[in-house]
Amino acid sequence: MKKKLSVVIPAYNEEKNISFLVSELVRTLTSTIYDFELILVDDGSKDNTLNEIKVQAEIHPNIFYIELSKNFGKDYALKSGIDLAQGDAVITMDADLQHPPQLLPRMLKLWEEGYDIIYTYREEANPHVKAYQRIASKLFYKGINALSDITLENGISDFRLLDKKVINELRKIDEYELFFRGMVKWVGFLQKGVPYTPAKRHTGDASYSFINLAKLAIGSIMAFSVRPLYIATGLGLFFSLASLLYIPYIAISYFAGYDALSGWASLIATISFFGGIQLLVLGIIGMYLGKIFLQTKQRPSYIIRSTNLSVMKNDYIRV
């Protein structure tokens, strides 16, 4: 029996990309030796994306849609597709054709060679990325690698192939702040990275704003690490030791005949400095507390409004 591939694609306001994407993928996949299904997840789009997907689903019997009840974000859209996919391997990719389908044969070959996870990362010189975006992305990966226990390549993407045994593990994970790129690294298995040069977005603009990306960066570091909390301890230790040094300084000044009270300005500076540090540290603690709060509520990570997949009442979905 032929092995089956599931291609999961999250789409948010991608109406102009759907038909081209589908024709490209269908062409690439029919030339392989595998059966395949395309699962397009409409992540609460405000444009005609869902209808475009439904039109494609009418034409091709192996195209399926999942309509989420609102915009949950890319990672949750991915999770919904992964939860319902039935293939022996799941391929995740973007709807804007930045992830070149031409790379699929190479990824499939590596899968046949026995790798469980084939992930891709952007090649350094990417002509479609602005300089400030490149710097921001470098900082993000430096930050997450330094502060957490996983290591992510610079420019690692959501274009990847996952074997069924990895999918079975990923399905068990139900975290409030899902960061797939990190999670896929964290699960382990036999992994292989493949570099790629992203294409230009087929049409439309990237939907992530700078603020969204900053939130994503902080969220993903916190999802994989409690190290920021240790920073608090470190800072506290450092400054209490440093302030001990201040005591001999005052004593010596006193005996040397200087007026020990003269340091009003430095006193205020010190107080406000420590006030700031304390608030910062409280803030970090508070952010983790907030995340514990949200996780304990155990809300589902996504809600499906409709789908033409027949496995809606899958074990993994809480309905």
Binding part of the chain for Mg ion, among 96-104, 146-154, 170-178, 266-274 by CB under 5 A, reads 96-104
Stretches 71-79, 226-234, 277-285, 306-314: which one binds ligand UDP (CB under 6 A)? 71-79
CB 108 within 8 A of CB 32: yes
Distance of CA 141 to the CA centre of its chain: 12
What kind and span of H or E run contains 315? none
Minimum CB separation of residue 173 from ligand UDP in Å reads: 19
**98 interacts with Mg ion by CB under 5 A:** yes
Q: Does 10 bind ligand UDP (CB under 6 A)?
A: yes
CB of 118 to ligand UDP, least distance (A): 19
- Answer whether 104's CB lies under 8 Å from 28's CB: yes
Task: Compute the least distance from the CB of residue 110 to ligand UDP, in Å.
Answer: 23
Any idea what the Cα angle at residue 280 is, between residues 279 and 281, rounded to 5°? 90
Using the rule CB under 6 A, give the single segment among 69-77, 216-224, 289-297, 300-308 that binds ligand UDP: 69-77
Among 5, 14, 26, 155, binds ligand UDP (CB under 6 A): 14
Q: How far apart are CA 98 and CA 123, in angstroms?
A: 13
C-alpha span between 158 and 269 (Å, rounded): 47
Cα-based angle 18, 202, 180 (whole degrees, multiple of 5): 75
Q: Rounded distance, CA 70 to CA 53, Å?
A: 16
**Minimum distance of ligand UDP from residue 15's CB (angstroms):** 10
Nearer to ligand UDP, 74 or 185 (CB): 74
Q: In the set 11, 82, 104, 222, which binds ligand UDP (CB under 6 A)?
A: 11
Phi-psi region of 114 (alpha: psi -120 to 50; beta: other; left: phi over 0): left
The partner in contact with residue 11, picked from ligand UDP, Mg ion, none with C-beta cut-offs of 5 to 8 angstroms by kind, is: ligand UDP
Is the separation of the CB atoms in 94 and 14 below 8 Å?
Answer: no
- Contacting positions for Mg ion (CB under 5 A): 96, 98, 206
- Contacting positions for ligand UDP (CB under 6 A): 10-12, 14, 43, 71, 73-74, 77, 94-96, 98, 206-208
